[in-house]
Amino acid sequence: MGDKSNTVPCKFARSLLRFLEAQGCDMPAIREAVELPFNPLDKQYGGEEPIPAMCYSRLYQWAMWMVQDESFGLHAQGVRPLGTFRMMSYALINCKSLEHAINRAADFNEILKFSRNPGQDTRRRPSGHPQGWPLRREMDEMGSPVAVYFYDTDFYSAEQMGEEALLGIASGLSIWHRFCSWLIDRTIELDEVMFIGDPPDNIEKYQQFFNCVLKFNQPENGFKFSVDYLDYPVLQTEDSLKEFLRNAPFQLIRMPNHGESVASQIRSLISHDVSKKFPSFEQIAERLNLSATTLRRRLRKENISYQDIKDNCRRDASLVYLSRPELSISAVAALMGFTDVSSFHRSFKKWTGTTPKEYRDRGAER
């Protein structure tokens, strides 16, 4: 299969199938229903043959429906009723930044835990775990600030982390990383991913999911990334969330692990605060460790210009801000870095073919 972003390693499907088999499910019927091209439980495939991401997505949804549990036992967090992820997503969609969204997700999870275990200390941590759960800022070995996200599970020792548990943790971390990337509409480059358990025999299969350094026998499960991402605004809306939820987690599975295009890398550099003056083309080239000539050539190959990227960033941010009725159009213009509202009107019409007021009115009618 040519496009690896549209496939999933066989072992992840095998974990779900084994779980369903243990529940006494009709396995041939399930494989037929989700249109698996082969039986991942057949030993001849040995975990090497990938399966289509959409088939895995159907299998994921089937498993949740069969056991009425969104975690279906893999993440050891107890039963998560169907609809939990959907309601959490709606709770996050209007957050101002990624950091705000991550912390709100933690609050949502704490409420869910408390409803299952009223009166108990719901925020369980490994012994000596630092404050700031599940997110904290620290310095890496080079003295640069990084964000550390801790993945909340019941596995707090290497002895508990067998192969099935490790697969569940890796799957959960990958889905959460990609969901955070989807929220801010750019791929979050991970610095490293940490696991409590021992390294598996086929570590390269895990690296396909994260494209970064993997560390095992660590104090906690989680991942590290640049603190810059924490300030990026949530760019998705309730409309885009509705579309996203129709086929989840397919959209997350097929997302690339890193920005492959130069345009996506530039967008990641400039779009977290469109109210400020954008860096010059030469400054962007320097940050990408490219010459200005090479950067121009690569952008021409992708059929886009730096000006197009800047306009697209401003357009997308404008659409998000205009969907929030508490902001006046003049306030949106200011957030976009325009000192003159009429200039914002002209630019917005150039980007979208309509005026800010017309766009807002159409949204109100929907």
> In Å, how far are 8, 34, 262, 345 from 250, measured between CA atoms?
10, 13, 25, 37
346, 348, 353, 356 alpha-carbon torsion, rounded to 10°? -100
143: alpha, beta or left? (left if phi > 0; alpha if psi -120 to 50) = left
Nearest of 172, 207, 160, 223 to residue 60 by alpha carbon: 172
Q: Which residue has the tokens 């962007």?
A: 284
Q: What is the CATH number that goes with domain 261-365?
A: 1.10.10.60
Give me the mean pLDDT over the 193-222 stretch.
81
Do 249 and 175 meet the contact criterion of CB atoms below 8 Å apart?
yes
46 vs 91: CA distance, rounded Å: 40
Q: At what angle do helices 53-67 and 10-22 cross, to 10 degrees?
A: 20
Burial class (CB within 10 angstroms; exposed 0-12, middle 13-18, buried 19+) of 248 = buried
**Residue 7 C-alpha from the chain's centroid:** 17
Q: Which of 59-68, 240-249, 297-306, 343-352 has the lowest mean pLDDT?
A: 59-68
Give me the mean pLDDT over the 248-255 stretch.
59
SS (H, E, C) 122-166: CCCCCCCCCCCCCEEEEECCCCCEEEEEECCCCCCCHHHCCHHHH
Sheet of 190-194, strands arranged across: 135-139, 145-150, 222-226, 190-194, 213-215
pLDDT at residue 202 in the model? 72
115 vs 100: CA distance, rounded Å: 23
Interval 66-108: pLDDT, tens: 656 565 444 445 556 667 788 888 999 999 899 999 999 888 8
Question: Which pLDDT band, with edges at 50, 70 and 90, does 345 fall under?
Answer: very high
Asked whether residue 2 carries a pLDDT value surpassing 50, the answer given is no
* 90 Cβ contact partners less than 8 Å away, ≥ 6 residues apart: 238, 241
> In Å, how far are 41, 115, 135, 154, 351 from 222, measured between CA atoms?
29, 25, 10, 13, 40
Interval 216-236: pLDDT, tens: 888 888 999 989 889 888 888
Nearest of 110, 218, 106, 220 to residue 156 by alpha carbon: 220
* Cβ-based neighbour number of residue 332 at 10 Å: 22
pLDDT at residue 17 in the model? 83
233 vs 183: CA distance, rounded Å: 8
Phi/psi at 341 (5° precision): -60, -35
Do the bridges between strand 145-150 and strand 190-194 make them parallel or antiparallel, or are there none, so unpaired?
Answer: unpaired
What's the mean per-residue pLDDT of the chain?
77
How big, in percent rounded to 5, are the helix, strand and coil portions of the chain?
55, 10, 40
Interval 29-40: pLDDT, tens: 888 887 888 888
Asked whether residue 270 carries a pLDDT value surpassing 90, the answer given is no
List the chain domain ranges.
1-67, 75-258, 261-365
pLDDT at residue 106 in the model? 87
Do 196 and 219 meet the contact criterion of CB atoms below 8 Å apart?
yes
Do 34 and 57 meet the contact criterion of CB atoms below 8 Å apart?
no
